[in-house]
Structure 1
Amino acid sequence: MTTDSRTQRRYRGDGRSEDLLVSATPLWSTDYTRELYEAIDRDGISMAPVRRAGCLARRAPDVVHIHWTPLLTRTWPMPVGGLLWLLVLVILKMRGTKIVHTAHNIRPHEGWASETERRVQTWIDGLVDGVVLHTPSAHDELVAGRPGLRNAAFRFVPLGLANPAAVGSISRAEARRRIGIRSSGPVLLAFGSIRRYKGFHAFGSVLRRLPTEDVQVLIAGQPWDTDLASQLKGQAAADPRLTVCLGRLEDDDLATLISASDAVVLPYADVHSSGVAVLALASGRPLIGAARGMIPWLRDLHGAEWVHTYEGTFDDRAFQDSLRWLEGRSDGSSPVRQPSWTEIADATVDFYREIVGRNGETSQATRGRRRISLRRHRTDR
């Protein structure tokens, strides 16, 4: 089924009790949501994009699933666009629609665009019936930061891999040859969309104060702003230990970068959901990150042999402690059993039905959970 035909798909309206109409934003426009909704788009489930006019349609959706609320609150013209979306959601709630929100983060990484946006976000939170978390430990901080969600039902659903890299198709030596790395020392990789809060620009100043020459840092991904891109290029030009590859990463390029690395670093100021972290561990690469958000949970889940944490910011001490940890660990197979998109879709649909109340149970997130294991069985090691 093509993307266009999926987007045009509508509720059958044949009265079958198992039919569920879900409107989502975004629907097919990101790798993550496309994988999720392709797996959900099945018999008994109808998918449609969220549209303002949808609140007046003959058949209101059973569920509206919102992923990143700034896609609504920052709709042009601001702030009127966000207020219009708030009105749409209020009308849908009055018509019986349930609202589900996946909390990919607690607040916008670059801050609120305005005080009006923050207030609209708070009002939208008060309409939410169910919240999907990718990290169970995020619940308390999320409710503290967004108290409007306190009365919603919560469900943990693992983060899926939107672009699994084919790591292992080439050797580490060949991957490093392709990139042009001649050093035999440790190679650290930071990749993904390059945004200020991720702290990739910290590597330049840390490397400048690091006495050892036998280390390489790779930074790869699409920058969000030209100033940050220029800063990273300048740092790389001044230090041969830093290699910067700016632009969209194709799957083959990503596989080469991960194969060349010894560890993946997340020097983020804030991380509650990270596809980079999941992909690194699933690809058999240990993870280095601050002891906040998702990272301590991953360490507790997979062990300190696979996830190293540091306190505070990624400074000289954190960098050198991470290098010592990396030198002292032994290689092994990945500890992660990455759930399939079918499993993730099943858990998400279970939550939809629970919120709507079509499974014959009360809408409590503590009942009827479909549990998904994230650890490999010992026989897989």
Structure 2
Amino acid sequence: MTARPAAVTVPVPTDSTPTEEDPAAMSADVPAAAPRPFTVLQSFPEPRETTNPYVVMLRDALDAVPGTRVLTFSWRRALTAHYDAFHAHWPEILVDGNGPLKKAVRQGLFVLFLLRLRATRTPLVRTVHNLELPEGISRRERVLLRWAERATASRIRINESTELDAGTPVETIVHGHYRDWYAPHPRRERRPGRLAFVGQVRRYKGVDALVEAFGETTDDGLSLRIAGRPTSEELAAHLRDAAAADPRISLSLGFVPDADLVGEVSEAELVVLPYREMHNSGGALAALSLGTPVLVPDNAANRRLAEEVGDGWVHTYTPPLTGADLTGTLARLRAAPPAAAPDLSRREWADAGRAHVAAYRRARAALRR
């Protein structure tokens, strides 16, 4: 069991960035120049339609904090621009590339980037989206990512149940909701008996286990909808074979735009997320933001989420997932539907924006000391 990280006690500096003053401001007739904004470089490029909404909402929340400037990532900015902190989300993306040449160039740039952060004493702050390094990466990528870990000045976890070692300061800033993000898109009428998995289909998310468990049910009033882009043709073929064998299963195997995601989730009676490993889930928060209950593995993080949002919204099962888990959850949900909307008041993005800026400033102040 790893030790729970100690609370950060470093005070927030009142002005952790130097003020660039106009020499003429020494005159009583000329007002002093405004302080330079605290600038943070994010590890993602300018958002596109397929960009994870989490980082887009974070960028917007940071932009709304007075005195803060946000830069999205490019190698030119990383190596030449002025910024006060660097915030990494999935650093493995920075050492990967399409083809051996592009990957090698990126890895060389990554080395220069880490050296620049060290030379300028600029803090690297990392959000711990995943606890382990990605599978299937090369030895060189692993070495570079371990180096980035050692260079990290502060880590941000997005739920209180994530246990991290005590070697690097840890901040807790919970994952924000999606209510505002999805508000522009119309919802569909709820379809009784509809179970759904919506989101990118990765092996660790256990969609194959969901299909197998659904096959154990015999109720023709049930249906299973899987919408999302598989990460391999092998996964896609497996899902197509399953759907062909059971007319109650329907598929949409491709990128799911926001409008379609809102439709798929709001149409479901229950969203099922049978992840083999689950400590953070944007999928669960997306479903709850759209007023759809979820079924998730039983663990500390999901029990805490269930307590936070209120009765009837987060249902858990003990792995492996079975057909009885699906039908039993629907029965309980129908017998005692939620009495109120899920409570997501702890997950306002304005609060998250201010908390992130405070974390960046603490990391910079500590590193400079």
Q: Amino acid of the residue matched to residue 354 of structure 1?
A: R
Contact 2:313-2:338 at 8 Å conserved across structures:
no
In structure 2, the residue matched to 1:45 is 68
In structure 2, the residue matched to 1:154 is 171
Q: How far apart are 1:155 and its partner, in Å?
A: 2.8
Change (3 A) 1:247 1:68: same
Q: 1: CA distance between counterparts of 2:351 and 2:240?
A: 41
SS at match of 1:319: helix
More displaced, 282-291 or 48-57?
48-57
Instruction: Write the mapping of 1:158-173 to structure 2, written as runs, cut at 5 A.
Output: 158-161=175-178, 163-164=181-182, 169-172=187-190
SS at match of 1:126: helix
Q: 2: CA distance between counterparts of 1:107 and 1:96?
A: 26
- Decide which of 40, 62, 65 is 1:22's aligned counterpart: 40
Aligned length: 329
Change (3 A) 1:337 1:205: closer
Q: How far apart are 1:294 and its partner, in Å?
A: 3.6
Deviations 1:144-164, CA, capped at 9 Å, x for gaps: xxxxx7222323233342842
More displaced, 253-262 or 126-135?
253-262
- Decide which of 59, 63, 70 is 2:85's aligned counterpart: 63
Contact 1:282-1:336 at 8 Å conserved across structures:
no
In structure 2, the residue matched to 1:366 is none
Contact 1:165-1:251 at 8 Å conserved across structures:
no
SS at match of 2:152: coil
Structure 1 unaligned regions, length at least 5: 1-10, 144-148, 177-183, 364-381
Change (3 A) 1:261 1:354: same
Identity percentage over the alignment?
27
- 1:342 has 2:350 as partner: yes
Q: How far apart are 1:51 and its partner, in Å?
A: 4.3
Deviations 1:232-290, CA, capped at 9 Å, x for gaps: 12211211221212222233322322222111111111222222111211222111011
In structure 1, the residue matched to 2:153 is 129
Structure 2 unaligned regions, length at least 5: 1-16, 22-33
Change (3 A) 1:160 1:63: farther
- Decide which of 282, 288, 300 is 2:295's aligned counterpart: 288
Q: 2: CA distance between counterparts of 1:12 and 1:240?
A: 65
Contact 2:295-2:315 at 8 Å conserved across structures:
yes
In structure 2, the residue matched to 1:32 is 54
Q: 1: CA distance between counterparts of 2:57 and 2:154?
A: 21
Q: 2: CA distance between counterparts of 1:168 and 1:56?
A: 43
Change (3 A) 1:217 1:290: same
Change (3 A) 1:284 1:122: same
Q: 1: CA distance between counterparts of 2:78 and 2:200?
A: 34
Q: 2: CA distance between counterparts of 1:89 and 1:323?
A: 50
Q: 2: CA distance between counterparts of 1:44 and 1:166?
A: 29
In structure 1, the residue matched to 2:10 is none
Contact 1:222-1:249 at 8 Å conserved across structures:
yes
Change (3 A) 1:260 1:28: same
Contact 2:176-2:349 at 8 Å conserved across structures:
no
Q: 2: CA distance between counterparts of 1:325 and 1:87?
A: 56
In structure 2, the residue matched to 1:118 is 142
More displaced, 96-105 or 336-345?
336-345
Q: 1: CA distance between counterparts of 2:301 and 2:143?
A: 26
- Decide which of 326, 344, 368 is 1:319's aligned counterpart: 326
Q: Amino acid of the residue matched to residue 164 of structure 1?
A: Y
Q: Amino acid of the residue matched to residue 127 of structure 2?
A: T
Q: How far apart are 1:124 and its partner, in Å?
A: 0.9
- Larger relative contact order (CA 8 Å, sep ≥ 6): 2
Contact 1:270-1:293 at 8 Å conserved across structures:
no
Change (3 A) 1:52 1:284: closer
Q: How far apart are 1:166 and its partner, in Å?
A: 5.9
Change (3 A) 1:325 1:230: same
- TM-score in terms of structure 1 length: 0.76
- TM-score in terms of structure 2 length: 0.78
Deviations 1:270-313, CA, capped at 9 Å, x for gaps: 22222211121122211101123642221232245221111223
Q: Amino acid of the residue matched to residue 197 of structure 2?
A: A
- 1:88 has 2:113 as partner: yes
Q: 1: CA distance between counterparts of 2:38 and 2:215?
A: 57
SS at match of 2:251: strand
Q: 2: CA distance between counterparts of 1:207 and 1:41?
A: 44
Q: Amino acid of the residue matched to residue 151 of structure 1?
A: T
Instruction: Write the mapping of 1:299-310 to structure 2, written as runs, cut at 5 A.
Output: 299-303=306-310, 305-310=312-317
In structure 2, the residue matched to 1:4 is none
In structure 2, the residue matched to 1:241 is 248
Q: Amino acid of the residue matched to residue 33 of structure 1?
A: V
Contact 2:41-2:78 at 8 Å conserved across structures:
no
In structure 1, the residue matched to 2:359 is 351
More displaced, 117-126 or 161-170?
161-170
SS at match of 1:222: coil
Q: 2: CA distance between counterparts of 1:74 and 1:41?
A: 28
Q: How far apart are 1:349 and its partner, in Å?
A: 1.3
Contact 2:128-2:157 at 8 Å conserved across structures:
yes
